[in-house]
Structure 1
């Protein structure tokens, strides 16, 4: 009987193993989002300075802890967050400071209720661990970024000079409180992402008065504190370098030129290095990345939809949305900054611990976010920030980009800060997403602008050859203007009789009702054109299609005409010209459709090809880190590619250890069942003999 029971135990165990394995395989995406101790590859960064800043912004820490969030180290032990970060190589903590993030009833605005008291509490804990503190003054009561720089409530009626003095006084007073509390302040930011919307609601030449006064306050307080100015959108090279030049021309006293860099928004890493190196070499300033992050999963873990949530969102960056992809992104950003040389200061990871305060039920979490300010915005901010409404306030939209999973367990990507000095598992395959094919077939000469000879193109106005935003290859044509502008790119080519389709690829953003982009063909001096579909963000490529017919061999001019509003931007690449019908077919087609032929009739179409319009409508506008209305200019002026295309194949990926374990478990279950059945057969045979 014991033997009989043993066989049934084997069968039962096998069935359980099979069920566990099969269920596990079906939920592999969720398992992949957790920290399953899968081997991770982190490449060594050559010649990395031992004093390189490995920073983290933890501004929501107190609100998260008050909301009941706990953090666990890589060994699974519950530990203080800053201790975990410090043990894994983080040596600098960044905290944002808002002037008065509370309404008249004392309710916090959310996102950490990041006032000076919050900064002091976090700063004291960091200082005790031997880490320095970067104080990030927004000079606002809530989020300040390229899309909005709302002055504090108390400064709403101030003129420029009054705001400048208020910045001086607030900076001095805050630094005094921090010093008196024992916080080791090593660096201070005068403003946050002061691109596009300026600083404290001031743009243009007057904003330099505010930079100057903030810098003066820091220098007068303590000459040993580094003064940082923080911009963003390094892919807008002319714009960001224009700020560096403006700072020099206005004789602003500062030490560090900082930028944000998010690879799904901000272009190629080679461009990031080039921009920072240009600033370092030209103006003798230290440079750094003040913010970067990347998703470890595309899952929503708290019921508040995330800013980066689809495969198409991460495809432009080239990294998978896994802890491995996250680690590789952080490593590559560190490498890009380090490559600047001696003036390279460091990199800060943005909000690595801003995770779910509970489960995935938004309704349950909402009361916690409201009470402790652990969501991106609370209802209390409605009325101060016009982008926050009764329908969009809520939780973290960045939780899937933390270095901790939804339960607070450290991910393997947290090892990156230390591992970049030595490298680990560098023998594993290249962990990048497969890149699209770079082969472009077109009747046009140099259709992807890869050849150095561009003489076949005529470029007019605000459009030029660039390496910032290619769809394929390395080159593209970029267009942008600080003021309303026009641009035109074209190529003239002689074609045989037939019907042709011309379809250049275009992407961009920040356009408005005044913007008008046309794809056109000129035949006998007459122009036919179709509108380019709306440009909805970086790497959201649209491909308008224009069809035309030639009854005889003729030279035609094909091009892209741009008339657009100030600050709008975009690029074009891969100009595809194909012949879709012969001259015989073309004669019938010309007689029966409305397309222009070489008879000279002109047609201006207000609608693009239906296929290209559908493609454009499927794109979604990117949002920024501070919420669904954090769809600031950062989100609308993103461009460029984050990495040069790598030679990767679909079968060249990291071992799916979790899937392998689950499959092995299933197979083991099958084996146990078979063994149990065999044992039963033997048992009954032996019993029959008796």
Structure 2
């Protein structure tokens, strides 16, 4: 269901931080996760899943392609008074226990996502469960604790206690409205919200057999100001948690550079791990049902990636690169949101579900073109992105960190037309470096690296770049790899942007990768994070 964004700009001072269980989560255990909450209803509706033409258990297909974690949402009572299900997975406790056991039996870890509602919640709505409708604030707080503890104790008794717990879903505007609303009240909004969160956290601590990482989750991952406002308030209230979960969809939430800046700020300002706990992208613009897709040509243009199998793969692998590059090694991984929801046989809501939300809409699925399976259930190239974090960057000194300030970065060669190379590495945040092309005279230069001993196969080359859009020429290129030289222009953005050359077929065991710039005086290009990875 399309996420609603509540943009609230409030300034706040940074106050106390809490230690939590952050040390329990290792950044080198990269999470390649999938939210599979829809799976049981999909299979009950007749969905099948195939890899290379062979029907298999979808969890086997996901695991074989690198998935090591699943996320399961939990609704309190997703049925109306007559027992009609709300749809979209109808994720009550029984179904959640069933999926958790199935995942654990496959050797997959489980993140449990408490919504504290009977159906969808996000920044635009945080509806009370029906059974909690007439409770006072104190009664609600007691319900949060007892419900959370009861669920976790049941999972514990069945040997499927979650490996990570998420208290609330997309909490920008709070939870359990109106008491837990984070804005527009009497100034004590965050005190009440924090009280609810602390009760959920305490239930985890009181039921766990060993320390379990706890996540708080916000939407609008490219909006640093919203995250900072909310997290400043929550840390001021001394809520004890370990991980900041982020919803980031490139067509709604800004650029990857915006996301990177936000993740770095979370890492440095709060010393918290970050997980992009919801993300997705389209594999086509085709629509299978009457429900308008979340990604159409408009969203495709905003995202900057083609809505195709390759575009889906390129976005996800670029995202992984950004998460792995978070400062202080605090980027923990990602979860793809509903990669198995490939048709509209399971609707985003039944009529009963819409009635609970108080909306009128058509049934269907706006997400089917963002699954990592096609409309017939065949696994697509995007599924291979789950294994991308395990692949090796074949370039040396790819982020220009080895030497500090220098005009001759290690492992790279420089070519210049004349005496003026215009190339040097510079610090841009006092901790990390970039490489810059600039001179007060006209210049023509390139920096390049030759890579040998490459096995034949398919490779992906990418780079982060920003620069003067009036440069005469600025290009990322690859050549001498057994095919024709390929290149892409780097001069269309004055803010950081990721550029990619994909599906490179290297056949002769080597290649040359470089950046070439030709410019008049006083024009510039910055580059960072050059990556060459074998992806097949």
- Is the pair's TM-score, using the shorter chain for normalization, greater than 0.5? yes
Task: Give the alignment partner of residue 329 of structure 2, picking from 332, 342, 352.
Answer: 342
Equivalent residues in 2 for 1:43-442 (5 A)?
A: 50-73=28-51, 75-196=52-173, 198-201=175-178, 202-204=180-182, 205=190, 206-222=192-208, 223-310=210-297, 312-340=298-326, 341-356=328-343, 369=345, 374-386=346-358, 388-389=359-360, 392-422=361-391, 427=459, 438=469
Q: 1:173 to 1:644 in 2, by over 3 A?
A: same
Partner of 1:467: none
Asked whether the 8 Å contact 2:260–2:323 carries over to 1, the reply is yes
What is the distance in 2 between the residues matched to 1:137 and 1:200?
Answer: 15
Residue 321 to residue 431, structure 1, CA distance change in 2 (3 Å): farther
In structure 2, relative to structure 1, the CA distance for the partners of 1:412 and 1:431 (3 Å cut) is: farther
Using the alignment, how far apart are the partners of 2:36 and 2:48 within structure 1? 14
Instruction: Please tell me whether the aligned partners of residues 107 and 380 of structure 1 are also in contact (alpha carbons under 8 angstroms).
Output: yes
TM-score by length of 2: 0.67
Q: Give deviations 1:278-337, integer Å, cap 9, x for gaps.
A: 222222222111100000000002332211122x21112111101111111111111111
Q: Secondary structure at the match of 1:414?
A: helix
Q: CA deviation at 1:248?
A: 1.1
Distance 1:232 1:199, change over 3 A: farther
Q: Which has the higher helix share?
A: 1
Rg larger in structure: 1
Structure 1 residue 264 displacement after superposition: 0.8
CA deviation after TM superposition for structure 1 residue 176, in Å: 1.4
2 CA distance for matches of 1:213 and 1:474?
Answer: 46
- 1:653 Cα deviation from its structure 2 partner: 7.7
- How far, CA to CA, are the matches of 1:191 and 1:233 in structure 2? 15
Q: Is the 8 A contact 1:473 1:645 kept in 2?
A: no
Distance 1:172 1:150 in 2: 21
For residues 663-678 of structure 1, the aligned pairs below 5 Å read none
- CA distance in structure 1 between the aligned counterparts of 2:62 and 2:177, rounded to whole angstroms: 32
* Corresponding residue number in structure 2 for 1:681: none
Query: Quick check: 1:378–1:393 contact (8 Å CA) kept in 2?
Result: no
Where 2:355 maps in the other structure, the secondary structure is coil
CA distance in 2, matches of 1:267, 1:474: 15
**Greater relative contact order: 1 or 2 (C-alpha under 8 angstroms, separation 6 or more)?**
1
**CA distance, structure 2, for counterparts of residue 406 and residue 184 of structure 1:** 34
Which runs of structure 2 are paired with 1:12-27 in the superposition (5 Å)? none
C-alpha deviations, 1:50-109, integer Å up to 9, x for none? 510110000010000000000012x22101111111111100010000000000111100
Distance in 2 (CA, whole Å) between partners of 1:309 and 1:238 is: 28
Q: Report the CA distance shift for 1:208/1:136 in structure 2 as closer, same or farther (over 3 A).
A: same
Q: Is the CA contact (8 Å cut-off) linking 1:191 and 1:199 kept in structure 2? A: no
Structure 2 unmatched ranges of 5 or more = 1-25, 183-189, 393-455, 472-491, 505-536
Supply the distance in 1 between the matched residues of 2:268 and 2:87 (Cα, whole angstroms): 40
Aligned pair count reads 386
**1:430 to 1:274, Cα distance in 2 relative to 1, 3 A:** closer
Alpha-carbon distance in 1 for matches of 2:498, 2:50: 36
Q: Distance in 1 between matches of 2:94 and 2:463?
A: 42
